[in-house]
Chain A
């Protein structure tokens, strides 16, 4: 460990995207028990274990040679789809697959192209899960994160400022799911009894966006 202040990234190249996946795997693994506890309250107590297994497979799938962002995102998508199962596998798989398509041909993503790629990914989740804002799902964390990215892109914030804002927004979105009654997924079967619990999908989304902020700020360096 050094005491020098880490230098934030100005763009996300393929190596940085691969770091994002590794950092996500670390954070999901560290919070797996917490995700499972959230899922046990309103679902079926497997979200932490499933996400940990899927992200570990995604990290294993990363090529040793540097690749373009689109290739890294696609490998991640396929690993999640083929290892996670449940609803989280197709939803996160679709997110990374649509992000990959949106990044086709790019060597690196700036704030604008990152916002566009995340928008494509979130659009995929909405389509696959037919969920809307306020249904108490991962969308309730993704939507504010995307809005923060779009706002940052519009006012020419740096990439680091943009993803930090996105992470904070995703975290607020995660917290905002607590008082909602669930309308999608297994928690919806509980109706009013789902109120008072944070949605596990929103919680894992907040970790994914946090991982991105960590990589861009450089604070994940040395831990990856």
Chain B
């Protein structure tokens, strides 16, 4: 393993210290509790939003703390959900009297820890908490025999849209409703060209020969649904897009937000190339791309590969998507 680290145990803490140093004016980092806050809390009376998950997915979630997106993010150990104490502390700290929305990716550990945190908050402070669980990964086929679809790329879109709704001063129920609608309108599929290496493990999580790829991966270095021979970008784009389109909800006449995400080790050159292939496929399928996003936003350490997320957008979702956002990881309109 060759990584820019000091010690295996200190990776998350050291990275958070660096994040604090890099964004002294906009973020406040609780290095002991592994929580990233906005340096300046939002106005009283506005709904606050807390998300979190394992580290190793940067900029998700800490990089999306700021005006127009999250109020706090809880960073777990690498690929490990945050613990209830962390989430309840963040929730209590950011509440501005209007309640707190938890955005949780559908992984067993994340769901359980956020559940326990919500119970703790209710017992200790009476702060109103609503939860939206993202579950957009079409690679997971049968929810009866699995833990349900994984929450992956749509999480970024949900955090942006919910953040904008909260900034507008909408109620907790309204913010939760648009977050849920966005989550349900999104579908994703990922591909890995290489495994990632978890620092504590020290070696790649799976062995992948040079001429093979993993189709249907999540974001934790777990193998995908199946292994296939490497193919052209055009062919891989088709394999990612087809299962998404099969399951994409019908819209109200609007097109999609198209999100081509890098897993951490694929250069933008390849991501843009892949996006070009996806855009062509969508055009041929008669699906209008209303907005697009290309880059590394929900990553899996040093994995090479990408994921595609399509969100069937309605008028309100597009308006909230366009609203100003000012975070380390996503910034426009400011």
Contacts and interface: CB of A to CB of B under 8 A. Distances in A.
Contact of A189 (B76, B77, B116, B222): B222
B224 to A, nearest CB: 8
A46 B108 CA distance: 14
A90 B112 CA distance: 7
A191 B145 contact: yes
B109 interface: yes
A82 B77 CA distance: 12
A189 B140 contact: yes
Interface in B173-228: 198, 200-201, 205-206, 218, 220-223, 225-226
Contacts of A195: none
Contacts of B91: none
Nearest to B120: A81
B198 to A, nearest CB: 5
B222 A190 contact: yes
A186 B147 contact: yes
Interface range, B side: 35 or more
A186 B201 contact: no
Interface residues of A, number: 34
Contacts of B200: 36, 45-46, 48-49
A85 B108 contact: no
B198 A85 contact: no
Contacts of A88: 109
B150 interface: yes
Contacts of B77: 46, 49-50, 53, 85
Interface of A: 36, 40, 42-46, 48-50, 53, 81-91, 128-129, 181, 183-186, 188-191, 193
Given A36-B201, A44-B220, A87-B108, 5 more contacts: A40-B205, A85-B81, A128-B112, A129-B108, A181-B145
Interface of B: 54, 76-85, 107-109, 112-113, 116, 139-141, 145-147, 150, 198, 200-201, 205-206, 218, 220-223, 225-226
